[in-house]
Amino acid sequence: MSRYKLVIEYDGRDFVGWQRQDNGLGVQQVLEEAVKKFCGEKVRLFVAGRTDAGVHALGQTAHADLTKDTDANTVRDALNFHVKPHAISVLSVAEVDDEFHARTSAKERAYFYRIINRRPPLALEEGKAWWVPQPLDAAAMNEAAAKLVGHHDFSTFRAAGCQADGPVKTLGALTVGRLGEEIHIKARAISFLYHQVRNIVGTLKLVGEGKWTPDDVARALAAADRAAGGPTAPPDGLYLSEVVY
């Protein structure tokens, strides 16, 4: 039996999230069925981080164990053939040792959030970014983001139903920058709370609009109360961009 590490990208719009669920199609289900079509094996894919409905991935990582005598490139190409017509691409496959685990071996996860900040609505990018028509001050948002970097109780940005052991996390990096009409928010941490990034983005938007100051964000963090934070940003603009091992 061999263990394979898969790096995957997908468009989250057509899925109920990563996880196999009864209420719709999950990315996990499509890939596990692709494995069965390829080699007849019923496998369970283990993933670095479960994404929600509508959330995309540029570098999701998973692993699976196969008994079939094959090689990594064959696995990659076979899975890409069998996931059709779904918007999923297996970017790379590598054979790894039995100690590797997509979730527990991960040292850092990176998320990327796209806001398209323009007056005209989206045509080509609908569902792939958050359209915000009112002007946003990206510099002020970046100043506010710096208040959240570090080891904190992130209860203010933790959604109900979060299954993490506790609200304390270390946010290694959080930056906001503008590139033309797009605002990019990048976050890195060992792990994140449920909806943590989306709740942070919704809060930073208030700063960008001039409704909050960076100090308001610091006070909201200190309150350790979800009611003290801003709204939850939609899933459209969120991408799991990288998992570091």
Q: What is the pTM of this model?
A: 0.95
- Active-site annotation holds for 52: yes
Instruction: Indicate if 108-244 has the same CATH topology as 2-96.
Output: yes
* C-alpha dist (Å) from residue 234 to 33, 130, 136, 175: 29, 7, 17, 19
In the numeric block, which tokens belong to residue 151? Answer: 């080891």
- The residues spanned by each domain of the chain are 2-96, 108-244
Domain 2-96 in CATH 3.30.70.580? The answer is yes
14, 27 contact by CB (below 8 A): no
Residues counted in the chain: 245
Residue environment code for 80-101, b if the CB has 16+ CB neighbours within 10 A, otherwise e:
eebbeebbbebeebeebeeebe
pLDDT in tens, 149-199: 999 999 999 999 898 999 999 999 999 999 999 999 999 999 999 999 999
Tell me the chain's radius of gyration from C-alpha atoms: 19
Q: Looking at the structure, give the CATH architecture of the domain made up of residues 108-244.
A: 2-Layer Sandwich (3.30)
pLDDT in tens, 85-114: 999 999 999 999 999 999 999 999 999 999
**Active-site residue, selected from the candidate residues 11, 14, 52, 65:** 52
Residue environment code for 54-65, b if the CB has 16+ CB neighbours within 10 A, otherwise e:
bbbbbbbbbbbe
